[in-house]
Amino acid sequence: MWKTVLDKMLGKLIVTGRLNVAWPDGTRDEYGPGDGLEAEVRLTQDSIVRELGQKPVLALGEGYMDGRIDVPPDRLYDFLALLIRNQQAGEMPRWFDAVQALRGWTRGIEQRNNPLRSQKNVQHHYDISEDLYRLFLDEDMQYSCAYFTRPDMTLEEAQQAKKDHIARKLRIEPGMSVLDIGCGWGGMALTLARDHGARVTGVTLSENQLATAQARARESGLEDRVEFQLRDYRNVDRHFDRIVSVGMLEHVGAPQFDTYFEKVDDILAPEGIALIHTIGHVSQPQATSKWLDKYIFPGGYIPSLSEVSASIEKTGLWAADVEVLRGHYAPTLNHWRRRFEAALPQVRRMYDETFVRMWRFYLAACEASFEETFQGVFHLQLSHQQYAVPVTRDYLYRTDSSARMLHAAQ
């Protein structure tokens, strides 16, 4: 029965490229016209056929993790990209669309991220061994989208370019106070203190990240200019000249968007500037993948531009500039994925094969999603005053020397 159900689903879904399926009973079928991407998958047990027919998104990830879905590691990206591309163009069952809509309506329950739940969610992902992240991130441990001003950039160069781009948008002057919401391992805060003379307070809910960030501040001799705290952003109670938040809004959850932007409004100085860097849907709101929510980012949610705009509109903040970074996160994830695969001997000494397959699936699925769907990165530049930020973007692309001359003239 379930083979018939899944066969019909794939027949309607695959409208571009070709998917070759080897079934548990040894038979094989082909789906799609054969143009474009081509992938092959082997289903090893009847149970995964049933689960794919019942809950395709969750079963796809779980089946790959436990080996019931067999795809060669070097072809996993093609397999996932083919499925995602066809999900955008093909026809999913009506019940699947209904379930997705229901999950969208009930997200207020799924993402009820109070301070305690928020800390548990963050610790689920970030308080695993830091040694794992060091294997595939850049030297500064930037775990967010890089900025490729040239396609041939190394990961280190592109992450530095990201930090430089954000710093220019913040227009920091020496001595300014900066709050880094969701400071990670401290790279952005340390950069703003070291290279721009800021006095930075970083807040995080991850104990591991806090310890590393504090150690890095000591090692860099920046303890007098950078302070890291284990604190929920909702409990910050002082004003800052600048606020930066990179890759943290995705952990807030849709029900807390109003609270988040109200807090930014409340603690940003009257002449201040905030820069919020977040993954976002350039489309209607989408339900979070059940697999990602269960295994990778519990309580996470990627907002659409309409959702964050609605929350910003309720504050006293200008949306001084909104930039959509397209085509930057897929290359970032490709760097991470290739580094992860190159480091498999070390990873396998730390984790079992189920974890390896989970992490491989996560990186490949995210890369394919950024390449195949309406998903990018938003830079939300916020201010209380209309002219806190220049009225054109010219200032972002001047050379260092011309920028210094302009600053001196002012």
Could you tell me whether strands 177-181 and 69-70 are parallel, antiparallel, or unpaired per DSSP bridges?
unpaired
In the chain, what is the greatest distance between 2 CA atoms, to the nearest angstrom? 77
3-state SS track over the chain:
CHHHHHHHHHHHHCCCCEEEEECCCCCEEEECCCCCCEEEEEECCHHHHHHHHHCHHHHHHHHHHCCCEECCHHHHHHHHHHHHHHHHHCCCCHHHHHHHHHHHHCHHHHCCCCHHHHHHHHHHHHCCCHHHHHHHCCCCCCCCCCCCCCCCCCHHHHHHHHHHHHHHHHCCCCCCEEEEECCCCCHHHHHHHHHHCCEEEEEECCHHHHHHHHHHHHHHCCCCCEEEEECCHHHCCCCEEEEEEECCHHHCCHHHHHHHHHHHHHHEEEEEEEEEEEEEECCCCCCCCHHHHHHCCCCCCCCEHHHHHHHHCCCCCEEEEEEEECCCHHHHHHHHHHHHHHCHHHHHHHCCHHHHHHHHHHHHHHHHHHHHCCEEEEEEEEECCCCCCCCCCHHHCCCHHHHHHHHHHC
Euclidean distance between the first and the last CA atom of the chain, given in angstroms as a whole number: 74
Which residues belong to the active site?
A: 366
**β-bridge partners, 268:** 240
Give dist(CA 203, CA 156) in Å, integer.
Answer: 24
Number of Cβ within 10 Å of residue 249's Cβ equals: 25
